[in-house]
Structure 1
Amino acid sequence: MKTVLITGCSSGYGLATARHFHAQGWNVLATMRVPCAQTLPESPRLRVLPLDVTQPDSIAAVLQASGSIDVLVNNAGIGLFGAFEATPMATVREVFETNTFGMLAMTQAVLPQFRVRGAGRIINVTSSATLAPMPLVAAYTASKAAVEGFTASLAHELAAFNVDVKLVQPGYGPTTRFTANSGARLQGLIPPAYAAFAQQVFAQFTQTTLLTREIDVAEAVWRAAHDTSGQLRFPAGADALMLAQV
């Protein structure tokens, strides 16, 4: 019976992924900043653990509590919509701290046990924003594009140790808490000069028929966890699959 550790499980893609792996018989370590087990099934194969990927002490504590794991899913992330001109650099750094540096820190922390064991898999969840340019998400896209480049390089670096690294690229998921979780960071990021353009962009989002469901991402992570073909990127959701073919 294998064990997966998933970051960012309080809602959305992380929550769906935790449920999916548990339903398939795996041991699941579902982590989130503020532990809440109410949305997950009660089971001896599922533990909810506190984790803030931006805090080294928190990462060390969760790995000590987790013991041996087989797969790490770096899913924790925060969103950001807005004109880059109006985005404070402190906000940009906050996004990178979670989306990029938090993922790097988690990966670095699990590598010793994977390397010594000669087995393990890391799955990094990015975004379809890396597949095609999208307006008003420049800083967010940069944080995810960095993960894409890092993952592709690390896959080569770890192949000699039989450690696999994969990417899952979700599309636009309106049923997730992506915008809500962005919170106060979004305030003031659409100044008057950008208002008309932003309205056009938001209208396009509401009119799109190609969307990503939480289960689409969970299933893509599952495929990435079991892939033996050497495939690196796994688009998730109808819109991401379409963009990956362009």
Structure 2
Amino acid sequence: MKTVLITGCSTGFGRETAIHFLERGWAVLATMRNPAASTLPVSDRLRVLPLDVTDAQNIAAAVASAGRIDVLVNNAGIGWLNALEGTPMETVRDVFEANLFGSITTMQAVLPDMRARRSGVIVNVSSSSTLMPIPLLSVYRASKAALTALTESVALELAQFGIRARVVMPGMAPGTSFAENVQKRISDGGWFPPAYESFAEQTMAGLQAASSGDITTAQDVAEAVFLAATDPDCPMILPAGADAIAWSQGR
């Protein structure tokens, strides 16, 4: 029985991916910052571990307690939408810490054992927003684009050891709660610099309109991650969801 470790499993893509692997007979190490809040189904092939991807010691402890890891899925991350001018550097660092540096640290933690066994797969969840310029997503897109570029280079380094690295690019997240929450912050005032508020409102209206179409579901992402983890012939970059596929074809 093979084992997958997945970060960010409390909700959304990570939770659905953990269930997807469980349903296919895998042993799943589902990680999240607060395991007590887990809503994953009970299974003797499931272990829920505490893991904060911004804490290197926490990552090392989780990987050490996990045992053999055949597949690592770096799914944990945070979103951010704001004008660059209005984004504090502390927030920039937080976004990169969660979306890029945490993935690097987790990869470094699992690679020595994978290299010794000369087998393993790393799947990094990026974003299809990196495929085209989208205003107000500059910091988020930069962190995810860096993750994609990192994975492409790492894949070449690791192939000699029988280790594969792949990227999954989801499209727009399910539902519109993210967009609605941002819109509320705009309406409340002070979240965007005043000079950008009119532009931000127009941008958010466009994003909300786009989210009413055929967007990515959590199941789309779970299926793409599983394919990347199990198919040696899987493309280096795998779009997940109809909108992500359309964006990748129009790049």
Secondary structure of the residue that 1:211 maps to in structure 2?
coil
Q: Output aligned runs, 1:15-54, within 5 Å.
A: 15-36=15-36, 38-54=38-54
Tell me how large the CA RMSD over aligned residues is. Answer: 2.0
Counterpart selection for 1:191 from 167, 190, 193: 193
Give the aligned partner of residue 136 of structure 1.
136
1:107-165 Cα shifts (integer Å, max 9, x gaps): 01100000000000000000011111111010011111111110000000000000000
CA deviation vs aligned residue, 1:38-85 (integer Å, no higher than 9, x gap): 411111100111001111110111011100010000000000011110
| 1:228 and 2:242 aligned | no
Amino-acid identity (%): 55
Name the residue aligned to 1:81: 81
Question: Are the equivalent residues in 1 in contact too, given 2:73–2:123 (CA < 8 A)?
Answer: yes
CA distance in 1 between partners of 2:10 and 2:21 (Å): 15
CA distance in structure 1 between the aligned counterparts of 2:34 and 2:135, rounded to whole angstroms? 32
Residue 94 to residue 125, structure 1, CA distance change in 2 (3 Å): same
Other-structure match for 1:152: 152
With normalisation by structure 1, the TM-score equals 0.94
Q: State the secondary structure of the residue aligned to 1:36.
A: helix
Aligned to 1:200: 202
Q: Tell me the distance in 1 between the aligned counterparts of 2:65 and 2:228.
A: 25
Distance 1:241 1:4, change over 3 A: same
Alignment correspondent of 1:124:
124
Separation in structure 2 between the aligned mates of residue 223 and residue 109 of structure 1, nearest angstrom: 23
Residues 101 and 179 (structure 1 numbering): CA distance in 2 closer, same or farther, change over 3 Å?
Answer: farther
- More moved, 115-124 vs 200-209: 200-209
The answer for the alignment partner of 1:210 in structure 2 is: 214
Supply the distance in 1 between the matched residues of 2:104 and 2:162 (Cα, whole angstroms).
19
Q: Using a 3 Å threshold, how does the CA distance of structure 1 residues 169 and 52 change in structure 2: closer, same or farther?
A: same
CA contact (8 A) 1:77 1:98 kept: yes
Give the drift of 1:37.
Answer: 5.7
Closer, same or farther in 2 for the Cα pair 1:59/1:223, shift >3 Å? Answer: same
Give the match for residue 60 of structure 2: 60
Is the counterpart of residue 244 in structure 1 residue 248 in structure 2? yes
Corresponding residue pairs, total: 244
Q: Give 3-state SS (helix, strand or coil) of 2:95's partner.
A: helix
Report the equivalent of 1:11. 11
Give the Å deviation of 1:180: 9.5
Q: Residues 103 and 3 of structure 1: is their aligned pair in 2 closer, same or farther, counting only changes over 3 Å?
A: same
TM superposition shift of 1:201: 1.1
Counterpart-to-counterpart distance in 1, 2:9 and 2:64: 19
Structure 2 residue ranges without an equivalent (≥5): none
The 3-state SS of whatever aligns with 2:98 is helix
